[in-house]
């Protein structure tokens, strides 16, 4: 109550001026960022949220924000357009949870061309932009980027190897050269100038100038044929065929369009979809679709401001013209905002007639269709998940569908760097925030059964430790929406369970972790009868047998082993229950393998880079980032080492001498 009163007093003290405001929680973290022409009027509209009263309640999302808010601060600006730019910067920096957000919270995927390299690479990236590189995007999905890279690799051969220096440590050309997708600069089969010519064509194509690339290839094909170099002419012909196949998707052309982004939007409930048609030099070069969440009770204008800031904020290029739907009314501030980001003027307007009006209507229609497909997909997915859960209920004879399923797997290489994973599926969908990884402590050699026993012991010991914090745990569980402990699920405040707490399975009593605070309905372990027996023995010792069901899934024949049956259960390959079990098992495997590789690579990297003169943690990271792998570092010349950012020349020379002295 005191916090609400203080927050209300802060709101009433806001000035009647344009600016940006930030709601913060008690820890000082930013919950929401907004802008306003009048801070006083805009913040006053939040009073019902702060009070959580009145005949018309705000949305549940905004009520939750008001409940968590402990303070508000503002920054006055000279204009609303300046406030828009500042708001965008604050959102990108703080990533507030209650602002409109894109469905995929990752950074946008781009294609990067590393022009600073002697032999540039063309790669997928989500990393922040670095000086000297060319970036193309953002793309709506990683799949679209990889599809484009695959097509480019067939048309314009370029190297796929990582690191600044081309090639492998062995010095032999890779498979990409054998299938004519790499010109093998590592073997000197192409010089830097010729390689750059191919990269320049890649840059032209990605920049929307595919027509110029076609004309150049046609000219080179004719010149090769005229000089009777028919093999080279055939190579150009094949590249032309592949390029024209890609460009068929871009055949809609209008010379009056020029270079413009045409944007459409549709919304339904808490979701909005925005479609962007990208035309370059009159060609409809690409289409991108984005879904935004948290748009309920938000005006179209604000949705667009948020989207344009997110979309163009990370884009290396921006067209001089942007067409927006008529529901977006205030255009001057948007134009000023985008112009500041681009560094030169951007014309933002509504399309009144002609091709731009037609394409804008088409973008609106595609956005509406995308939302409808999203709705249908959600419904179908919900039905399939429920069918799988009820199938598992029948198979295991459970009283209710297993809403929480945990999967466990072991990963190692010849008994070294043994690790385990725990993945959680809630309602048949991955709950990645509850995934956990374990370094196996009790084994020095391969024993998958013993490893499963250890990780399951440690998991349930952590549950018992968590129940020592029952008052705290219950509060956190309810806030997060996680299923609280049921009366039928035993828990103890003493952690005095037989068979637990006497070794590596024991966890620190104060190590509260919400991922371990809820019992699963079903535990799935990768393997056969041995792994099943190990997991079952842990549950029996902890007193959870009959409360938590357990099964194992063998990879070879996809056989399901459960306690009390000597023979495995064999389900139809398309059975939804089996498909869910496979997904849990495969996800646990993926997570375990990723952790194992990380530990193995860290060990290898540590052994290679440890002991280098003048190299600490930061310089070690700089070396790895520059070369991409320990192998590339070991093969580097003195000059290449001196080019590592953050590595002084004197240290680089000492490192080179050290490596080649001990190598």
Among candidate residues 241, 235, 210, 209, the one with its CA nearest the CA of residue 223 = 235
Token pair 């929680």: residue = 25
Percent of the chain with pLDDT over 90: 19
The pLDDT value recorded for residue 458 is 92
Q: What pLDDT does residue 108 have?
A: 64
CA dihedral 198, 201, 205, 208 (to 10 degrees): 160
- Whether 282 shows a pLDDT value over 80: the answer reads no
- How far, in Å, CA of 575 to CA of 498, rounded? 38
Number of residues that make up the chain: 663
Report residue 646 as tokens.
């953050």
The reported pLDDT for the residue numbered 264 is 93
Residue 47 CB coordination number (10 Å): 16
| Distances from the Cα of 157 to the Cα of 169, 213, 248, angstroms | 21, 14, 21
In the sheet that holds 347-349, the strands lie side by side as: 101-102, 283-293, 271-280, 260-268, 321-323, 347-349
| Domains (range + CATH), the chain | 2-99 (3.40.1440.10), 260-372 (3.30.420.10), 402-599 (3.30.420.340), 610-662 (1.10.150.20)
Among 20-29, 103-112, 630-639, which range has the highest average pLDDT? 20-29
**Backbone Cα Rg of the chain:** 30
Burial 409-447 (b: 16+ CB within 10 A, else e): bbbbeeeebbbbbbbbbbebebbeebbbbbebeebeeeb
Asked if residues 306 and 91 have their Cβ atoms less than 8 Å apart, the reply is yes
Q: Categorize the per-residue pLDDT at 605 as very low, low, confident or very high, splitting at 50, 70 and 90.
A: low
500 and 541 in contact (C-beta within 8 Å)? yes
Q: For residues 416 and 489, which has the higher predicted lDDT (pLDDT)?
A: 416
CA distances from 272 to 95, 141, 194, 322, 637 (A): 19, 17, 47, 19, 53
pTM, full prediction = 0.55
When pLDDT is cut at 50, 70 and 90, the band that residue 456 belongs to is very high
Which tens digit of pLDDT belongs to each residue from 526-555?
988 999 999 999 999 988 988 999 999 987
User: Is residue 507 very low, low, confident or very high in pLDDT (cuts 50, 70, 90)?
Assistant: very low
Contact between 398 and 549 under an 8 Å Cβ cutoff? The reply is yes
């Amino acid at each position: 109550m005191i916090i609400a009163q203080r927050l209300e007093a802060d709101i009433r003290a806001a000035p009647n001026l344009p600016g940006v405001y930030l709601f913060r929680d008690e820890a000082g973290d930013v919950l929401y960022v907004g802008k306003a022409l009048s801070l006083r009027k805009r913040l006053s509209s939040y009073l019902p949220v702060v009070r959580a009263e009145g005949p018309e309640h705000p949305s549940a999302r905004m009520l939750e924000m008001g409940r968590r808010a402990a303070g508000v601060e503002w920054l006055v600006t000279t204009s609303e357009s300046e406030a828009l730019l500042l708001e965008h910067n604050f959102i990108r920096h703080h990533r507030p949870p209650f602002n409109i957000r894109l469905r995929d919270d990752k950074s946008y995927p781009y294609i990067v061309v590393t022009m600073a390299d002697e032999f540039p690479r063309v790669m997928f990236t989500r990393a922040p932009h670095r000086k000297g590189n060319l970036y193309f995007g953002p793309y709506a999905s990683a799949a679209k980027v990889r599809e484009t890279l695959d097509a480019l690799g067939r048309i314009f051969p370029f190297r796929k190897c990582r690191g600044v220096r081309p090639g492998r440590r062995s010095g032999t050309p890779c498979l990409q050269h054998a299938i004519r997708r790499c010109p093998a600069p590592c073997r000197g089969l192409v010089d830097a100038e010729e390689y750059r010519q191919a990269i320049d064509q890649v840059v032209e194509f990605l920049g929307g100038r595919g027509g110029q690339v076609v004309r150049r290839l046609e000219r080179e094909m004719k010149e090769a044929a005229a000089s009777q170099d028919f093999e080279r002419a055939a190579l150009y012909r094949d590249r032309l065929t592949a390029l024209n196949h890609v460009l068929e998707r871009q055949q809609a052309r209008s010379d009056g369009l020029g270079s413009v982004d045409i944007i459409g939007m549709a919304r339904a409930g808490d979701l909005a979809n925005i479609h962007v048609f990208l035309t370059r030099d009159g060609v409809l070069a690409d289409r991108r679709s984005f879904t935004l969440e948290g748009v309920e009770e938000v005006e179209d204008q604000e949705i667009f401001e948020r989207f344009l800031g997110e979309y163009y904020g990370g884009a290396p290029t921006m067209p001089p013209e942007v067409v927006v739907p008529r529901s977006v009314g205030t255009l001057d501030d948007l134009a000023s905002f985008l112009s500041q980001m681009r560094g030169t003027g951007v014309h933002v307007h509504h399309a009144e007639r002609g091709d731009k009006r037609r394409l804008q209507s088409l973008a609106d229609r595609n956005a509406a269709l995308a939302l409808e497909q999203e709705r249908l997909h959600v419904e179908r997915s919900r039905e399939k998940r429920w069918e799988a859960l009820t199938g598992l209920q029948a198979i295991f004879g459970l009283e209710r569908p297993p809403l929480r399923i945990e999967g466990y797997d072991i990963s190692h290489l010849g008994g070294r760097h043994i690790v385990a994973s725990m993945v959680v599926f809630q309602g048949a969908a991955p709950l990645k925030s509850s995934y956990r990884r374990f370094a196996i402590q009790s084994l020095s050699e391969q024993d998958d059964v013993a490893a499963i026993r250890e990780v399951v012991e440690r998991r349930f010991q952590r549950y018992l430790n968590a129940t020592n914090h029952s008052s705290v745990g219950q509060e956190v569980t309810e806030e997060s929406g996680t299923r609280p402990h049921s009366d039928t699920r035993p828990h103890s405040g003493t952690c005095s369970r037989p068979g637990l707490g006497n070794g590596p399975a024991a966890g620190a009593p104060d190590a509260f972790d919400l991922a371990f605070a809820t019992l699963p309905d079903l535990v799935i372990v990768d393997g056969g009868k041995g792994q099943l027996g190990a997991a079952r023995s842990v549950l029996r010792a902890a007193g959870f047998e009959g409360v938590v069901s357990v099964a194992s899934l063998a990879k070879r024949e996809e056989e399901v082993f459960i306690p009390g049956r000597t023979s495995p259960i064999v389900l139809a390959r398309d059975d939804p229950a089996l498909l869910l079990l496979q997904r849990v098992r495969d996800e646990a495997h993926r997570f375990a393998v990723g952790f194992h590789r990380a530990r193995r690579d860290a060990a290898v990297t540590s052994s290679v880079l440890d002991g280098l003169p003048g190299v600490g943690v930061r310089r070690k990271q700089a070396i790895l980032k520059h070369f991409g792998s320990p192998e590339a570092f070991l093969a580097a010349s003195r000059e290449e080492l001196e080019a590592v950012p953050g590595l002084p020349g004197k240290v680089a020379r000492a490192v080179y001498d050290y490596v080649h002295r001990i190598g």
